[in-house]
Structure 1
Amino acid sequence: MMSTSPIAPAGAGVSAADTRPSLTVLSGFWPAATYAVARALLAADPALLLVRHDLADVGTGSVHRVVRDGASVLEDVRIDLAHGCVSCTLRQDVLSTLARLARSRPDRDLVLMLPEVVEPETVAAACVHCLVDGAPISTLLRVDSCTTVVDAEHLLDALASTDDLKTLGIHAAADDDRALADVVVRQIEYADTLVLWGQSREGPYDTGRLSVLLDRMSPWAAQVHVDDDIVDAGALSRQLRDTRRHRPDTPRVLARGLEGRVLGTHEPYPDCGVVSAVFRARRPFHPGRLKDRLERINAEAVRSRGHLWLASQPETVVAWDFAGGGLGLGSLGRWLTVLPDAHWNAVPDQRRLAAALDWDPYYGDRHQHLVFIGLDLDPAELHRTLAGCLLTDAELADGEDVWRTYDDPFAGCFPLADLDPGHTRTNSEGVPS
């Protein structure tokens, strides 16, 4: 099964005459499935170069790098951890290795298989912003696609997991506090191509449900389903390689709505039990009522994301990031309506355009934009709960000076000096922990 999103048409923005080696980035939390896809690509094109890093010996302070083609292993090297950090080590070694291979073998395309705890966005950002010998690696190769492989047998368990990487003993650094569900969600949502590998142990209906769930979580991605009992390597290679789907200018998923991009699709009628509901509103949320209803709001959600504004903090774009039973709230910076004119030039063009098209004389660009995805989720009840958190007509008439005096359980959680879209982790009650 194959579907290509019209949001990101294959081949757009890249010249067909581009002769740089192409790079396919493979990520996924289940290495066996990810490596199976990599082996299928090698079987279809034995000249392809596969680069992968094995973390089995990370406990002893080293990472194992293997480079191979379809016939043999070309490199087998152990690398000492830099500063005890897997991410730092990979960033340094991946870029230098890709650059070296692109220079020495310019006629051979590459596949980079990431370890299970690495998010593809970090690698894609490094390819754009980090220099190798004084130049970005994009001068030597082009990132063709970022493909995430999802194991059908384990996906739902991972999305529902409350474990963190430290508990599982697979954290990338001493300060790596990420949750398992967060990693899986980010791998899925950053991808331009998703491979659903294998079958659900519950049968064909449940496998179809997983496909719908992935489509709701990442509607901008193409999706391929591979039956692991019968793998057509040639067909899979044609579906995954030379697609030119990667868009390096794509914002982080939590910022998509601010730039007028699709954040999620409103599909209120269940498809295999999967519901996707989009909530949009102009009025601000009352901080107390929102806090009191956070647990009810996310009770049926597998995933929710987006941005909002609180009456008590009218300058701040608040990020909303829920997965694995935990809600993350953080700062996405300031609303444009409160920015001095001189600061507008620092804002991405796409965001300024989206704000101008949706500008309100009273609210400016401030609005609520949240997406909820779940199994058997009740979109009408969810909408009523969220609408009940908005300011009433009487509260709205009081104005911002009164709104700022509200008791605010989120006070101090979203410092405007921190414009990084990272988020503050909260517990199930929504209180920062």
Structure 2
Amino acid sequence: MDRRDFLKAAAITGAAASAPSEPAEAAAPDAPRPAPIPGPAPAVLAAYTEDDHRRRLRNVGLCNRKIRKCLRRHLIADYLPGQCVYNLGEYPSRTPWEPSEYDERELDRLKEHGIRLIHVMDEWNDRYGLFGRNKLTAVNPDGFRRFVDMVHARGIKVLAYASSGYFVGSDPDYRKAWSRPGDAFGGWWDLTRCSPASPGWRAYFLPRMLKILDDYGVDGLYNDWGYVPNADRKIQAPAPDAVEAFEETPQIDGAEADLLHLIYAEVKRRGGIYKMHADFSNRPLTGGLKVYDYLWVGEGVDSTDGLRRAVKGHEPYVVPCIHGSIAKVEGPDEHFLHAIPYMQFPLLQGGRPLTGERGVIPIPRLPGVKENGFYAEAWKYHQAHPDGPYIYGGWDPIPPDPESRPLHGRWLKKYL
């Protein structure tokens, strides 16, 4: 079935399945329906009456009869489609960001929009030690706790960035023994990739990662994995202190799978949510080990159709985000046409406007180094357009599309 035809049909069967008000068989194809109320899915086990179960089973039966062929059948029980990456503020910065009335209003807007899960990026932490902390601790601990409380007060979940691979090469705690020789990209980012087979890196990272969960009250973690898969690796030499305990092939990343599974198990033991970001359309090759609840894809991908084809067989749940400054799209609805038929819903970017000033803040550990990529362009744009339209994240196009957020909200309400 063509994706566009699928969504026309879904507008009929989906509305009947999500709001148990009448049997699906009674729904006329062109009958107008009230807009679904944004919110989580109904509590099937706790709240459904006999009539609700009867309607749901009839709807499932209708789908089983009408859908003759499909890629996957999957019982969706715990999926949160309304997800947003929230820009807390600029970092590096001259002063730490501080939650304010703006964040109160923005979180209200996001709740009304239908957002139920947000994650914060690297600006939550003190990556360059500008304020006496590091990449695994908050740049403003009290302010971050206040922000987490603000999110929770609206019934929204919040995840904090914690990379299992990236660490700052100029951090005084960093040890070269943790990394494959030359496995880094320097300049403004100053990031090294730490080997998952390094016991020294594991001993340093894992307890500090757990402290993020315990100290700030977040609902889970977002992992920008900082790892090159075996199939793509050009640096073959191991890290100096690596212990080669696992099978490593183009089909399985043994040490990485073990590390990710340990983290995932610990997050789940705490009742949390774990989101992965594995670059481009990659997924962790784990040999069947479950290592994420959500997988964010799309960075650096220039074809929306190619992204859809690459990730449609990934294990649920996939959260696509078209890279606005790179990807080519046929129209404003294209993102949703590619995603929704595969149990996916696109990520929203929100929070504070991203000014790009972070790219021109001096960093004592990196004297004279400047960011000459996206943030430099964002800073030029913001200076020319201080009153908007605003950029909210690194995946936004420059200039931004002011209609992208209302469009996302309309599709999310339809989906819910």
TM-score in terms of structure 2 length: 0.26
Point out the structure with the larger strand share: 1
